[in-house]
Amino acid sequence: MDKQTVSFLPITQNDPFSLVPLPQLSGDQQKYLLKGLQGAANTERAYRADLNHYTTWCQQQGVDALPATSAVLGEYVSALGPKRKWATIARRLSAVRKWHELLDLPSPVDDRWLKATLKGIQREHGTHAEQAPAFGANQLKGILRKLVTDSKGVPRFGPLRDKVVLLLGFTGAFRRSELVALNVEQLHFGEDGVVITYYGSKTNQIGQREEKALFYSPDTQICPVRTLQKWVALLERTNGPLLVRIRKGNELTEERLTDQSIGAIVKKHVGDRFSAHSMRASFVTTAKLNGADDSEIMQQTKHKTSAMIRRYTRLDSIKQHNAAKKLGW
C-alpha cells in the first residue's frame, strides 16, 4: 500500500468509500453512512496523521501495512517506544484498529504477544502523560481585572472578547472546539444567569441537546454573565458566531475564531505554559477545592465518569486536598 492511499481513508471526509467495499448506494444512504463513519474532527485529523506515519514506516521497512500483522505492529511500537509518549502509541494503534474495522479486516491489535510488548514498553518508559496545567482562581481574577475593555467610553473589542473567552472557558468548562462553534442564538439569559445550549461535542457526536449554565457574580469585573451580555450587545445581532476575529483598528468581523486562536488567547493572558485545555482543568480543580462533588462537576463538564474528573483534577500540592487535615487530631 502506498502512502497516497491513506489520504482517502474512510475515517476522513475525503472520499470515504474508496477503500471500503460497498454496494451501490443512494445519495441519501451515502450521506448518512458518511456521517456514521465520521468521528470528532480533531480525532479524525489525528487518526489520519497517525496512519500516514504508520504506512510511511512500513514503506521504509519494506513490509505491508495492510493487513497489519502482530509482528509488524510489534516492531512498529518497539521503534516508537523510546521516542513517543504512551498516549501517542496508544492512539496510533487505535487508528490502525479503526482502519481494519472499516475495511472489514481482522485487527491484530488485540494479539496477546503484541499486548505483552506494549506492557513492556509501559514498564520500561512509563505512561505518564504531560497534562495542561491548571491556573488558580485568584490568578484568573487578577488577569480579568487588569483587562481594559473600554477607553474613554469606547469599547475595546479585543480585550473584551478575550475576557469572554477566558470566562466562558473557565466557568463553562468548555473545550476549545465547543467555544469556537458557539452562536449568539444559543445563549438564553434569565434572572439567575445564562443557559447555553449546544448540539454535539467530542463526547456527544450524535448531536443530542446539551446545556451549560453560568451564574451572576457579585463582582462585576469578573462576572461571566454581565461580560457576555456586554459582548453580545456590541455584536448587534441575534445569531451567528459568538467569538469572532477583530481587525486592526478595533473593527468587528463575523469570522469565527479557530481552535488555535483560543489557545493563543490563553497563552497571551495567562502564560506560555498554559493552553486552552487549562481552562477546563482549572474549572475541575477549583470546583474540587471548593467542595463540589463529581456529579456537580460532571453536570458542567459533561464527562461521563468520575474517573475523568480525577484525571482532570490538578492538585499540585500534597497539602491542597488531603484527608489528613480532617482527622480531628
Structure confidence by residue, pLDDT tens digits, 144-176: 999 988 888 889 999 999 999 999 999 999 999
**Burial state string for 93-112 with b = 16 or more CB within 10 A and e = fewer than 16:** bebbbbbbeeeeeebbbeee
pLDDT band at 328 (very low <50, low <70, confident <90, very high): low
Based on the structure, what is the number of domains in the chain?
Answer: 2
pLDDT band at 12 (very low <50, low <70, confident <90, very high): very low
Global confidence as pTM? 0.67
**Burial class for 183, CB neighbours closer than 10 Å (0-12, 13-18, 19+):** middle
**Burial state string for 285-316 with b = 16 or more CB within 10 A and e = fewer than 16:** bbbbeeebebeebbebbbbeeeebbeebbbee
Return the pLDDT at 8.
35
Q: Are residues 106 and 148 in the same domain?
A: no
205 in any annotated domain: yes
Q: Are residues 236 and 98 in the same domain?
A: no
Count CB neighbours of 129 within 10 A.
Answer: 11
Q: Are residues 114 and 164 in the same domain?
A: no
Contacts for 76 with CB less than 8 Å, ≥ 6 apart: 54, 57, 58
Which of 28 and 188 is assigned the larger pLDDT?
Answer: 188
> Which residues constitute the domain of residue 115?
3-125
Mean pLDDT for all residues in the chain: 83
Q: Which of 65, 96, 125 is the last residue of a domain?
A: 125
Q: Are residues 121 and 262 in the same domain?
A: no
pLDDT band at 10 (very low <50, low <70, confident <90, very high): very low
pLDDT band at 58 (very low <50, low <70, confident <90, very high): very high
Which of 58 and 324 is assigned the larger pLDDT?
Answer: 58
CA distance 181 to 324: 43
Return the pLDDT at 124.
86
130 in any annotated domain: no
